[in-house]
Structure 1
Amino acid sequence: MTDPGQLWDHPNPHILRTRVTARDIDGLNHTNNAVYVKWCEQVAWSHSVALGLDLQRYRQLDRAMAITHSEYHYLQASREGEEVTIGTWIMDWDRKLSMTRRFQVIRVDDGATLLRASMRFTCIELSTGKPRRLPREFIAGYGPAVLSEQSQMAGK
């Protein structure tokens, strides 16, 4: 078993751990690509909740962070029974409208990185679906979690 703490692309990820189940496997006998997308969404939500910005808070503020672009690089396959750790970081934001998250999926047994991904989010008004400035509650919640340029360089 490898300690993923030394394998992350960047320091201090917010992480979730899961085990690949039979339901995750596709016709090629490996984890379906859509499952990785689901894991990335789950760890992003978990991170938001940990920062005090859950769905209820989004609704109260009539704001949400909506995915506007995503990119996935599938590097290796995972199979049923394998344990994986999914990490996320908020890499940058403009403090006005948008932010970028990065993701990394590591297989616990051998420390192999299975996936690297990124998602660009834009703040929207829930009632209209239109882009809106980040409310101060989002700046206060997400702001401390944004990696500084210095810590990004240390992770490379």
Structure 2
Amino acid sequence: MKLAIPDADVLWDGLPELRRHALTLTVAPGDLDDLHHVNNTVYLAWCEEVAREHALRVGLGTPDLVALGAVPVAREHVIRYHKPALLGDRVRVRTALTVSAGLRSVRAYTLDRANPGDPEGGVRLAECQTEWVWVDPDTGRPRRTPAEVLRRFGFWAPAPPGSQ
């Protein structure tokens, strides 16, 4: 699957809350490179952090996923940088779990500067998309996404009471 970064803002607005998560952080000195802006690898670390927080919010931390017999591992990251983040900037990192099909899941991310005086939606710093592949934590072999993962992230609506 060749990843192309979709319009993450459209995705964000159109997805159920269970499939979205956001965090806001402040650029620290350790985030900077020799050019005094946020290092490229830090953006990726922030994307992974918001994805981890999202999973924890729905009760799917690593131990929970291991118990279900499948964990996600990154297959491909695509990042498009627009503007640098600088020391002290507030950065809003959003993720939207956009696709989950069989062995693969795709997350879109947006990273926006959200300093006082910035436009209401912030200033786009970068966009990212990651393709995750589900694997058995013991064997490392590919495994279909567990139904419980799909349910907790809002891909399936809960069954009405008494319908089972």
1:130 alignment partner, SS class: coil
CA-based RMSD of the aligned residues comes to 1.7
Residue 24 (str. 1) matches residue 27 (str. 2)? no
1:46 aligns with 2:57: no
Which letter does structure 2 place at the counterpart of 1:80? Answer: L
Q: Note the C-alpha offset of 1:125.
A: 0.2
- Corresponding residue of 1:134: 145
| Partner in structure 2 of residue 98 of structure 1 | 104
- CA distance in 2: counterparts of 1:8 and 1:18, whole angstroms: 19
> CA deviation digits over 1:118-148, x for unaligned, max 9?
0001110000111011222112122449xxx
Q: Distance in 1 between matches of 2:135 and 2:154?
A: 17
Secondary structure of the equivalent of 2:126?
strand
Alignment partner, residue 86 of structure 2: 79
Match of 1:66 in 2: 73
Which AA in structure 1 matches 2:143? R
- Deviation, 1:93, is 1.9
Percent identity, please: 28
Q: Deviations over 1:37-74 (max 9, x none)?
A: 00000000111111221111012123101111110001
Which structure's CA Rg is the greater one?
2
Larger displacement relative to structure 2 (126-135 or 34-43): 126-135
- The whole-number CA distance in structure 2 between the counterparts of 1:144 and 1:63 is 17
> 1:115 aligned to 126, 144, 153, which one?
126
TM-score (norm 2): 0.79
Q: Residues 100 and 150 of structure 2 are in contact (CA less than 8 Å); yes or no, is this contact kept in structure 1?
A: no
Name the CA distance, whole Å, in 1 between partners of 2:58 and 2:104.
Answer: 17
Q: Which residue of 2 aligns with 1:88?
A: 95
> Could you list the runs of 5+ residues in structure 1 that have no partner in the other structure?
1-6, 146-156
Q: Is the 8 A contact 2:98 2:107 kept in 1?
A: yes
